[in-house]
Amino acid sequence: MKFFIDTANLSDIKEAQALGVLDGVTTNPSLMAKEGITGRNNILKHYVDICNIVDGDVSAEVIATTYNEMVKEGEELAELHEQIVVKLPMIKDGVKACRYFSNKGIRTNMTLVFSAGQALLAAKAGATYVSPFIGRLDDISTDGLNLIAEIRLIYDNYSFETQILAASVRHTMHVIDCAKLGADVMTGPLSSIEGLLRHPLTDSGLAKFLEDYKKGN
């Protein structure tokens, strides 16, 4: 399972990278705005800064909503750095643009996916990644994890190569449940990754080992 971090915060990205378990980064316009990154040039520069920290794929989302504009903007993003994956919204023109980029060998991430049907279309359009938003489904009393299971079944039935990128992951149990269901990738905040570390028996066990060592030395 690949671990992506879902943020535009450089210090969180560095922290996850230093842990040695990071496979990539996902961003979106809201995450950029949260870090105060505004203006086209600053946003493009920020993507390059992120690529220079991590080794893996970095999803950069288009703002355009029409096919021609998405193609233009996506090409500009893809040219920024070889690690960039063009992130496209799951709308009609987004699907068309996904097919365009797939044909050109440019990696894509179809975002804002909330149904198995949308995920099936993304795979048919040759998406590299599909991003079902599990936390936002949970927010409206729908089972986000069930969507991961449905997509896994469909993709396995037809050996689709599109990778399931569980997104809108909010906490550590989401990460564990997505791993059980066979999501290829999860993207979440730093806290969802660091939460995997913690267990009180690890802490108390280590304290006891160190205490016993001191007694004998």
**Residue 24 to residue 13: CA distance in whole angstroms:** 9
x-or-dash string of contact with ligand G3P, 114-153, rule CB under 6 A: -------------------x-xx-----------------
Of 3, 13, 22, 28, the one binding ligand G3P by CB under 6 A: 28
The residues with which 25 forms a beta bridge, in sequence order, are 5, 58
Can residue 3 be called a binding residue for ligand G3P (CB under 6 A)? no
Active-site residue among 2, 14, 72, 87?
Answer: 87
* Residue 207 token pair: 């304290």
Can residue 168 be called a binding residue for ligand G3P (CB under 6 A)? yes
Can residue 2 be called a binding residue for ligand G3P (CB under 6 A)? no
Can residue 29 be called a binding residue for ligand G3P (CB under 6 A)? no
- Residues 48, 51, 53, CA angle at the centre, nearest 5°? 115
| Active-site annotation holds for 124 | no
**Residue 198 to residue 126: CA distance in whole angstroms:** 38
Sorted by sequence, the CB contacts under 8 Å of residue 145 that are 6+ apart come out as 134, 174, 177, 178, 181
Catalytic positions, written as ranges: 87
**Which stretches of the chain bind ligand G3P, using CB under 6 A?**
6, 26, 28, 31, 133, 135-136, 167-168, 170, 187
